[in-house]
Structure 1
Amino acid sequence: MSGLAFPGAVLFDVDGTLVDTPAGMAVVLRTVVEEHGRVVDEDRLRRTIGRPLTASFGTLLDLPADDPEVARAADRARQLFTELVIPSAGELVFPGIPALLAELREHGRPLAVVTSKVRRSAVELLEAAGLLAAFDTLSCHDMVEFGKPHPDLALLAADALGVPPDRCAVVGDAIDDVLMARAAGMDCLGVTTGVASAAELVAAGAREVLADVPALREIILRIPAPFGSHQG
């Protein structure tokens, strides 16, 4: 990204990017799978974290995503997430994230959330984490026809912000975040604070992969170009 003015809008994934929820989500998924009488494959479980719950449980329960048992499992997971993870959401925000979001706003960067959570769950988590007010718009799984890795969520956010897709960048921790960004014609920065490795994110097409928030901040603010300027 050196030599380029950073895109005007920044679209953030939530779980594993803003908030350290993957470990808690793993507990939730494991509990629900066991309640449904299935044996948990830990590697398989880990790879479903960050996906829509119906997709995760379709995989973990070996059922079609539209099976009623999958819907019940997803509802149960949301209940457990509220009970087990939400109370500690403020403590799970990655160090430096609130300051980074505030600094981006000071620089006039439009900010959005792009998440595989349904809107109700996204608002619940972001509000509990103290991050909701930092964002101009939320793009959530139940607001589009196709979720990640399709481009719909990212394009919905760009449209809501009034920013062309090629002036947006996605920040995310999962392969699907990168694939979504590429499909939407957006740049992508990967972070290794969540579920995917640096090698996986690079292979998916992330422009750069950062290990922590300070490194992410350095990239985003490397060239403090005002919104609207672009050098290619």
Structure 2
Amino acid sequence: MTGPAGAVLFDLDGTLVDTPGGMTQVLRAVLRETGREVADDRLRATVGRPLAASFAGLLGLPADHRDVGRAVGRARELFTETVIPTARDLVFPGVPELLARLREQGRPLAIVTSKVRTSAEELLGATGLADAFDTLSCHGMAARGKPHGDLALLAAAALDTPPGRCVVVGDAVDDMSMARAAGMTGYGVDYGVATEGELRTAGARDVVGSAGALPALLGCADRPSSGLTATGPPAVR
């Protein structure tokens, strides 16, 4: 693919919003309530995956075990109580301006996340970014989640854009694997959970170290913007 992509599919946690640190604290708190201590690097490595899969691995139990279900519910409660109130401050510098520039170009935008839809909507609403996106593809909305291509293809269909005219921007290996599986170009950001080397190995065409460097990759670096407006782009549908 040459030139700017038609549509941009963004991961949420660790890509647009600096939630991995808060999520790590939530995971630690839930595990402590079960009497377990797990190293922070292992906890952080699970951020961005579906909570059931994360807790199944951390607890050494099947994903459908009742204790995993309880942990997932408790984690969502704690996330709402401790992370959501500060979510607007967790948006990475340059993200609102980037989204506004893409909207000015008429670029279709989507969120593709391993969060369930209610949690994704909660976070986007708290950050003030919800109106930037045309559609959400969330865990449970397709037969398979990341690293498979299903969620990305769901977003492309909702945006009426061929996969080859879409790019994926994410901070995790699973994001790049998803992009490759869907026939899309993947761009990595290494300020989230994965390193530049890990992202490139997973198939990232390029990797940047800040949201401020994304406009150049996405073909909107030269368009001035004052940020998202009150009337703004179409709301999530």
TM-score by length of 1: 0.93
| Whole-angstrom distance in 2 between the partners of 1:132 and 1:222 | 20
Residues 1:18 and 2:16 are matched in the alignment: yes
Residues 1:167 and 2:165 are matched in the alignment: yes
Provide runs of 4+ in structure 1 moved above 3 Å: none
| Whole-angstrom distance in 2 between the partners of 1:169 and 1:18 | 15
CA contact (8 A) 1:166 1:185 kept: yes
Equivalent AA in structure 1 for residue 119 of structure 2: S
| Whole-angstrom distance in 1 between the partners of 2:203 and 2:5 | 17
How far residue 37 of structure 1 moved from its aligned partner, in angstroms, is 1.6
Equivalent AA in structure 2 for residue 122 of structure 1: A
Say which SS state the counterpart of residue 141 (structure 1) adopts: coil
Equivalent AA in structure 2 for residue 204 of structure 1: A
How far residue 223 of structure 1 moved from its aligned partner, in angstroms, is 8.5
How far residue 46 of structure 1 moved from its aligned partner, in angstroms, is 1.6
How far residue 43 of structure 1 moved from its aligned partner, in angstroms, is 2.3
Say which SS state the counterpart of residue 112 (structure 1) adopts: strand
Question: Within 5 A, what are the aligned runs for 1:182-221?
Answer: 182-221=180-219
Q: Report the aligned-residue RMSD.
A: 1.3
| Whole-angstrom distance in 1 between the partners of 2:94 and 2:40 | 30
Say which SS state the counterpart of residue 190 (structure 1) adopts: strand
Report the CA distance shift for 1:223/1:193 in structure 2 as closer, same or farther (over 3 A).
closer
Structure 2 runs not aligned, ≥5 long: 223-237
| Whole-angstrom distance in 1 between the partners of 2:165 and 2:216 | 19
| Whole-angstrom distance in 1 between the partners of 2:31 and 2:140 | 23
Q: Provide the residue aligned with 2:27 in structure 1.
A: 29
Residues 1:141 and 2:139 are matched in the alignment: yes
Equivalent AA in structure 2 for residue 102 of structure 1: A
| Whole-angstrom distance in 1 between the partners of 2:40 and 2:130 | 32
Say which SS state the counterpart of residue 181 (structure 1) adopts: helix
Q: Provide the residue aligned with 1:95 in structure 2.
A: 93
Question: Within 5 A, what are the aligned runs for 1:20-99?
Answer: 20-99=18-97
Structure 1 runs not aligned, ≥5 long: 225-232
Deviation readout 1:41-91 (Å, 9 max, x if unpaired): 322212111100001000111111111111110111000000000000000
| Whole-angstrom distance in 1 between the partners of 2:87 and 2:221 | 32
CA contact (8 A) 1:169 1:188 kept: yes
CA contact (8 A) 1:178 1:206 kept: yes
| Whole-angstrom distance in 2 between the partners of 1:150 and 1:134 | 25
Q: Provide the residue aligned with 2:116 in structure 1.
A: 118
CA contact (8 A) 1:115 1:139 kept: yes
| Whole-angstrom distance in 1 between the partners of 2:143 and 2:115 | 14
| Whole-angstrom distance in 2 between the partners of 1:18 and 1:191 | 10
Say which SS state the counterpart of residue 142 (structure 1) adopts: coil
Identity of aligned residues (%): 64
Equivalent AA in structure 2 for residue 120 of structure 1: T
CA contact (8 A) 1:16 1:194 kept: yes
How far residue 198 of structure 1 moved from its aligned partner, in angstroms, is 0.4
TM-score by length of 2: 0.91
How far residue 101 of structure 1 moved from its aligned partner, in angstroms, is 0.4
Report the CA distance shift for 1:20/1:223 in structure 2 as closer, same or farther (over 3 A).
closer
Q: Provide the residue aligned with 2:130 in structure 1.
A: 132
Equivalent AA in structure 2 for residue 36 of structure 1: T
Say which SS state the counterpart of residue 163 (structure 1) adopts: coil
How far residue 142 of structure 1 moved from its aligned partner, in angstroms, is 2.0
